[in-house]
Chains A and B, each alone.
Chain A
């Protein structure tokens, strides 16, 4: 801990305080029924999508590899977790966290099995091969008896009850926070720097002594693990899963969240995952036009900001604070504009 400067400590503390404030704020509002279950379910879905987008960002943003089969890992996680809680006779509060870990591990395992051959390829070919694997996972789930075929699984419990409205929210919120934290630290760790080096120039990285296969696989399996956990959360949040919900379109949905926010920018992924979950709900009254509008927005953002909304930069409170302070010192008018 000696290496961390005082400034960083302050920034950690500030972020920690904000996280807890957010949590207590929202959970009190839910418990007091100020935020009803319509909104709290949307918040939960938004957080799950954030987890998914941030996990894909590990591979697409940090490693710079295009993956079109992320929904496949989510499927593996969702089914493993759901099968566990449905078949194990443990109290749900005990079986649920175990199920999430099992979901994550199962997804990580499938990530490993797929990653070993697939990561020999790169660029578009990797995208295509992950697409292929994602579809195969879906077809298999559609045909096994244990997964109940096209009918899917249902009857999964949820932590939310009449008396405890925030059970799911608590879990999902802290897992999301943890995943985001993990991604930030991973990005600046030795492993993360190795992964970024591979993104920038794989051959140079290899020449510099970085074990490229190992690090590529590491990022890939880690992303699969997180997607699996997100799948487990999803299965118990919705209470119903079937293979068709984890198809190619779902994979592109997650990819769009990452790219729209800015590849490699974690805050960008969070932002766009949040907005893209709320948008369809906010547009409920215009059901005929909402997908049309969504596609137009998507095309325009890509045309005029090809690197995504935030590009590769991260939004940070201390950073913004510094900027504002700097601006106030220099030109008060400018600062006022920025804040507005």
Chain B
């Protein structure tokens, strides 16, 4: 507590100092840029929501990245120099993200960027990064449009549409589903993206969509939508939302007696930690696609999961894993390029073959990753690896 008070007091004095500083010169920070050009480290910027409503994703991603940086630096860094990782908080807000991006490029002179975490700020930042030609990898921005911004923008995660199509194929071919319902968050881009792709792909897989129910971001009552779905009795219910909403929806589905199998996308990773043990039977018959499996025997992955738990006293999530891989890819590309020149890094990324925690990854012509998805289910309150699946 004392530490907090001290920090608060410090913050107060700093505010006063910096505000008066700004008012006097209008340009308080530019003198700081001189030392950034120093050549003994390779500066890589990071953008993530470390505070605010979506900070849970940002913190996990950022933690994953930091572990990757530690490991790379211990192994000698890149180009014989240490990586200096400069993360900024953007509160999940596009304006703040762009401000922070400008600061990274102008003041900190970073050579590459890992970020952002959620889709909207990432799109905003990608548009700016295209103008600067800065190589960037978003670890977790799933919106299809992010990488369309320009050929310097890469991503480490699956895109929305791919996951929707994948799950539709899985439902039809492996679960023999004939009818399906969808419930999604219509204020969220990821959720609408996956839902629409699933609906579209269901047609070609000969699945009838009985209901497509939306809810508005921040809702906590889904009984109405679920009651409607229950009335049409579909084989599966696709729930392409993030894990905290999944927890609420699944528990209410159980409450009203919905019997269908629940399907989901990679946003489900971490759902068990958000459902109390007394309610965990709500997700017992579910299938979701993910990008890694915690049961995998890959020693590198197991090592990471263990280290993450020790370092941060928290359970690692997909976000952390992807953050780790994104930084790994960038470091590998810089090494391959042999320089910190933007264009060289970008061409190195395009031709990269990277073996990371999520498997073997290459980039397709849209700079999206190509790799197998992992289908996971939950039994007895534990995640269970089902199979690798490729559409």
Contacts and interface: CB of A to CB of B under 8 A. Distances in A.
A151 B143 contact: yes
Nearest to A142: B187
A240 B124 contact: yes
Contacts of B27: 29, 34-35, 39
A240 B123 contact: yes
A142 B22 CA distance: 38
A327 interface: no
Contacts of A26: 26
A245 B99 contact: no
A292 to B, nearest CB: 8
Interface range on chain B: under 10, 10 to 19, 20 to 34, or 35 or more?
35 or more
A286 B50 CA distance: 11
B89 A283 contact: no
Contacts of A328: none
A287 B50 contact: yes
Nearest to B186: A150
Given A150-B187, A154-B124, A293-B15, A39 B29 contact: yes
A39 B100 CA distance: 10
A152 B120 contact: yes
B99 A281 contact: yes
Interface of B: 7-8, 10-12, 14-15, 18-19, 22, 26-27, 29-30, 33, 50-51, 88-89, 91, 94-96, 98-100, 102-103, 105-107, 120, 123-124, 127-128, 131, 143, 145, 186-189, 192-193, 216-217
A34 B30 contact: yes
Contacts of B33: 36
List of 7 A-B pairs having minimum Cβ-Cβ separation, nearest first:
A38-B102, A36-B106, A287-B89, A282-B18, A286-B11, A240-B124, A38-B103
Nearest to B49: A287
A337 interface: no
A245 B121 CA distance: 11
Given A150-B186, A150-B189, A289-B8, A238 B94 contact: yes
B15 A284 contact: no
A41 B15 contact: no
A143 interface: yes
A244 to B, nearest CB: 6
B99 A293 contact: no
Given A37-B105, A293-B11, 4 more contacts: A29-B27, A289-B7, A289-B11, A293-B8
A262 B299 CA distance: 62
Contacts of B94: 238, 240, 245
A288 B49 CA distance: 11
B242 to A, nearest CB: 14
B184 to A, nearest CB: 10
Nearest to B11: A286
B22 A278 contact: yes
Contact of A238 (B124, B131, B193, B217): B124
Interface string A280-308: 11111111111111000000000000000
